[in-house]
Structure 1
């Protein structure tokens, strides 16, 4: 059986991919320091607690398991935090990718799928964004990821490594069966922050910038459901297993929603008209970024199933309500449409 290493597999996106890999019959090893991930989110395979900065431990894991492919998620991912703590981001995201590639080189692992980001594009002039658009990141998070992409590309040019680099747009949603979702305190992603306000975890939510050059003045983003994103990773793995050439691919739907539009849908689906505070822009936030996803569909045959903002919000809210004990303990009958009713 082919063995896959998933770094950061206890995290939000990684755990969804691990579940799908396990269901597809892959032998999975998760390597995660669990600084932001959760042991309980690893539903398949073996979890090894470790840090990519610990190269000795990493080499031991590679030597023991003889991986055929690495799926690399482990990273820090907050744009505002990266502006305040840039060196931490270059260390955790870029240096640790280098550590991982050195292990791949020594242990002859020649396939990697890399978790990148639309932040590598920066402030784009035209939307939707294609993979050929020049990369001009405007924050340390985006630059740390772009530098990791360069490391992978340069090493591949000098070796037999083949890669699929997936550039995520805004990831949200939860596994509709209620087994997995985002677990984080003080959520910064828009949908998660709005749900926090709807569930009274915070007194209000903030809109960072209402003077962007967009129809309603707030930033526009392309939101992709985490289950569709996870499926893209399995499609990428099968593509590499069939000797596909190295690729860089956008992961999004090609549909943008403004901050105000997202907040409106969270209010409608939750039934809670929570307070919203308008404040200044955050450093490093572009006005509008949406994906052109034509290439990933053509190259990988990727076919998303959850391309709907209400489905994304509904599964996110159902997951959070389940965690709060406000929804019945079983979500095996996923509720993807209509308003969620709180239990009493």
Structure 2
């Protein structure tokens, strides 16, 4: 055909053959084109039919509608240590759960475990989002029918919050924005979308260093570190919101959390860069595993029996139970504030001894000067929560709680990576 176009001296027969070839090819192309249109139409019709017959696509998501007898709980920070344990308990209690987490402190591995345990449709969904993004938070509330919010999301290390007093911009971003401002964002979304129940995860750090022990809910709040101050500000905002609404509010101020899921499904897996600011149990386990050369105890000159700080250690299983009982007792227009602790103080030296027994490792201990922002003695009076919510701590043996956590740590030395065989 190219020769024909370029060479007009070709015989007519040649031209006829060429033209005949063009006619044939054009017909073939037209036929193929029509066939493709018909095939596309058939496939489109088939897709439409499949979509219409698909329950997941033809009907709204179960998370987007209220269902009688089913409580849909938004768990902020649900990929974190405490939040994931709370989500596990709520799922076991047949609640519908949406977890929102930006994974800055949480772990996607915990979400994977929860999904494996509860794979049924409409039980659990995970949304990756930052609570500081008001637009994203509002969209989440608009697309989901929440009945209640359990607000765990926060940065929660006293030592980290006082790391560098000269860098207040860092402290504001990490603590006041993350805790206080983000709580305001959640409250505004709750108000805009008529979500009436809030269970707020607070802390004994809001009390600071009281003159009298044990701490009751009437003990004056005078926090001495940015973490405690940010939490108190968030509490104040919540209380102001509740005064002008019929919101049901439960504020739980809990003490030092230890332990892990007794069945070994979940545990605590802090990021490497945060280990030095984390809980003392994590440091004890790291020392027992040889991740760090030994344990550093900060402060031996406090006015206590053995010179080390005294804390009220609450097992995470008991803590989660308190949240569940608070959810069950929450009433419109009412505010409940409760200390969640054992009512018994244990010194850091006692804790280290219990950790040595739980792990079976003679951990090397180095005693150092005090850490900024710490206080000498803090333990709770849990009589109010016992009286009003019928809650009492059940796991009060330090060694047993630490053994439970140690089993998970020892078999998950890579955190939520591949589990390892337990050492003999």
Task: Give TM-score, length-normalised by structure 1.
Answer: 0.93
Distance in 2, matches of 1:31 and 1:287, equals 35
Q: 1:159 to 1:245 in 2, by over 3 A?
A: closer
Pairwise CA distance, 1:40: 2.2
Question: Which structure 2 residues correspond to residues 74-85 of structure 1 after superposition, within 5 A?
Answer: 74-83=153-162, 84=164, 85=170
- Is 1:86 the counterpart of 2:171? The answer is yes
Equivalent residue in structure 1 for 2:90, among 15, 21, 27: 21
Equivalent residue in structure 2 for 1:228, among 318, 321, 337: 318
Q: 1:243 to 1:95 in 2, by over 3 A?
A: closer
Determine the structure 2 residue equivalent to 1:69: 148
Determine the structure 1 residue equivalent to 2:387: 298
Structure with higher Rg: it is: 2
- Is 1:148 the counterpart of 2:234? The answer is yes
Deviations along 1:113-135, one digit per CA (max 9) or x if unpaired, are 00100000001111110010000
Determine if contact 2:357/2:399 at 8 Å carries over to the other structure.
Answer: no
Pairwise CA distance, 1:269: 2.1
Q: Which has the higher contact order (CA 8 A, sep 6+)?
A: 1
Gaps of 5+ in 1: 332-340
Pairwise CA distance, 1:243: 5.0
Provide the aligned length of Structure 1 versus Structure 2: 331
Gaps of 5+ in 2: 1-69, 119-123, 165-169
Determine the structure 2 residue equivalent to 1:138: 224
Determine the structure 2 residue equivalent to 1:57: 136
Question: Which structure 2 residues correspond to residues 1-344 of structure 1 after superposition, within 5 A?
Answer: 1-42=70-111, 43=114, 44=118, 45-83=124-162, 84=164, 85-87=170-172, 88-184=174-270, 185=272, 186=275, 188-240=278-330, 243=332, 245-324=334-413, 342-343=423-424
Distance in 2, matches of 1:156 and 1:97, equals 13
Moved more, 248-257 or 263-272: 263-272
Distance in 2, matches of 1:230 and 1:2, equals 17
Paired residue secondary structure (1:254): coil
Determine if contact 1:3/1:28 at 8 Å carries over to the other structure.
Answer: yes
Q: 1:264 to 1:16 in 2, by over 3 A?
A: same
User: How big is the alpha-carbon RMSD for the aligned residues of Structure 1 and Structure 2?
Assistant: 1.7
Distance in 1, matches of 2:423 and 2:213, equals 39
Deviations along 1:39-91, one digit per CA (max 9) or x if unpaired, are 22131511100000111111111011121111100001011111134212001
Pairwise CA distance, 1:244: 8.1
Q: 1:315 to 1:48 in 2, by over 3 A?
A: same
Determine if contact 1:192/1:316 at 8 Å carries over to the other structure.
Answer: no
Pairwise CA distance, 1:330: 10
